[in-house]
């Protein structure tokens, strides 16, 4: 079989002539020959497999520069690169799915009040909470900040020379949500505004490389709205099972997502604390947003990585399951981290979802 015209090659490879011309200009798919008189591009039949691979990778949404890289690899390495790309795409899709779920759930609520009045069938709920932050046994200062209030729960893990004020500034930017009234329909806008203000405040810290993680939950009366960026974490204990409800924004976690590291390898990786998302310090400041329907008996834990990097999940579950009240839970978790060497600052916030007390019966009048 002789050389194929660009039209015939486009039909056989399922790439348009326009795409073929672009790929030629980029050096991605060079014709076998270009007619010196007419300038027509001619392709060899042997180039079809290569062209079809390019077409398939484009359908995956892979950028052209990465396709160029994949084409230069052998079969096994190319397969691993595609696996890595798709794992990242699925993680990004999951983040968008969470945001879509947030919006659907949020906008479908008809009651415009921030804290809807309970119906006779709905049990009024409230949270009981405690927060504790500790320097640990190795660090000279504490760059963590932990906060718990009637509506806001938050943990920030600062880093850099200005880490401590960065974490405090991030949480301060959210504290107005405790007292400001706003309609349920503006919850997402309120959270995004708070994130923006937190990022501005952190970037205003006049110290080199200052930044912070932030994991915060806002109590709405029946739900907890989660804002998460970095590698601090949030968990919920429900029906005896402990679930992690955040995803670490670290280089190592992205390598696990892409199949390049196992969870066991990640636990001891020297770069396990290297962030890809945070507030300040030039990192991307796009948070994860979610809504969690609360149930009576739920217990939420927010913590910095000073707990999770040294204390096994089973030990955390044991404390969260058995500790009597949030105050005791945070004390025991911090003590557990310190008994494990306390190499880092450690901060914990624990909140229990409980039935709200009913109105008091009127006192009996003396006869």
Q: What pLDDT score was predicted for residue 102?
A: 58
Dist CA 118 CA 114 (whole Å):
12
Dist CA 232 CA 205 (whole Å):
21
Q: What pLDDT score was predicted for residue 110?
A: 43
- The model's pTM is 0.69
- Strand 125-134's sheet: what is its strand order? 125-134, 346-355, 299-303, 233-238, 241-244
Q: Which tokens sit at 249? A: 């924004």
User: Tens-digit pLDDT profile for the chain (367 aa)?
Assistant: 689 889 899 888 888 898 898 888 888 888 999 988 888 899 999 889 888 888 888 888 888 888 888 888 888 888 888 888 877 777 667 666 666 665 666 566 544 343 444 444 467 899 999 999 999 999 999 999 999 999 999 999 999 889 999 999 999 999 999 887 666 557 777 888 899 999 999 998 877 678 999 999 999 888 889 999 999 999 999 999 999 999 899 888 777 776 777 776 777 676 666 888 899 866 557 888 888 888 999 999 999 999 999 999 999 999 999 999 999 999 999 999 999 999 999 999 999 999 988 665 555 544 4
Dihedral sign for Cα atoms in the order 165, 166, 168, 174: positive
- Tell the residue number behind the tokens 């952190």, with chain if given: 202
The C-alpha torsion from 174 through 175 and 176 to 177, rounded to 10°, is 70
Dist CA 70 CA 73 (whole Å):
5
Q: Which tokens sit at 217? A: 């939950």
Q: What pLDDT score was predicted for residue 243?
A: 92
């Amino acid at each position: 079989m002789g050389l194929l015209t660009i039209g015939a090659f486009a039909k056989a490879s399922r790439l348009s002539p326009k795409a073929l011309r672009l790929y030629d200009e980029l050096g991605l798919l060079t014709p076998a020959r270009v007619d010196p008189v007419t300038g027509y591009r001619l392709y060899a039949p042997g180039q079809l497999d290569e062209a079809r691979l390019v077409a398939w990778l484009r359908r995956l949404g892979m950028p052209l520069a990465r396709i160029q890289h994949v084409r230069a690899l052998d079969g096994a390495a190319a397969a691993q690169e595609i696996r890595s790309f798709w794992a990242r795409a699925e993680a990004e899709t999951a983040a968008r799915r969470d945001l879509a779920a947030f919006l659907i759930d949020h906008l479908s609520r008809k009651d415009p009040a921030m804290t809807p009045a309970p119906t006779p069938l709905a049990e009024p709920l409230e949270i009981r909470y405690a927060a504790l932050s500790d320097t640990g046994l190795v660090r000279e200062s504490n760059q963590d900040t932990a906060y718990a209030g009637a509506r806001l729960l938050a943990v920030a893990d600062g880093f850099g020379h200005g880490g401590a004020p960065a974490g405090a500034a991030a949480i301060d930017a959210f504290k107005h949500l405790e007292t400001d009234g706003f309609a349920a329909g503006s919850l997402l806008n309120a959270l995004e505004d708070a994130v923006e203000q937190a990022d501005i405040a952190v970037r205003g810290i006049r110290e080199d490389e200052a930044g912070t993680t932030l994991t915060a939950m806002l109590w709405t009366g029946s739900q907890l709205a989660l804002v998460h960026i970095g590698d601090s974490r949030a968990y919920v204990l429900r029906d005896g099972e402990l679930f992690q409800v955040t995803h670490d924004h670290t280089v190592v976690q992205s390598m696990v997502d892409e199949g390049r590291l196992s969870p066991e390898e990640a636990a001891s990786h020297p770069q396990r604390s290297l962030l890809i998302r945070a507030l300040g310090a030039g990192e991307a400041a796009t948070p994860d947003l979610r809504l969690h329907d609360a149930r009576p008996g739920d217990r939420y834990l927010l913590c910095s990585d000073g707990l999770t990097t040294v204390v096994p999940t089973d030990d955390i579950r044991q404390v969260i399951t058995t500790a009597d009240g949030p105050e005791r839970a945070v004390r025991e978790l911090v003590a557990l981290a310190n008994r494990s060497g306390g190499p880092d600052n450690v901060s914990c916030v624990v909140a229990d979802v409980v039935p709200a007390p009913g109105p008091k019966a009127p006192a009996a009048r003396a006869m």
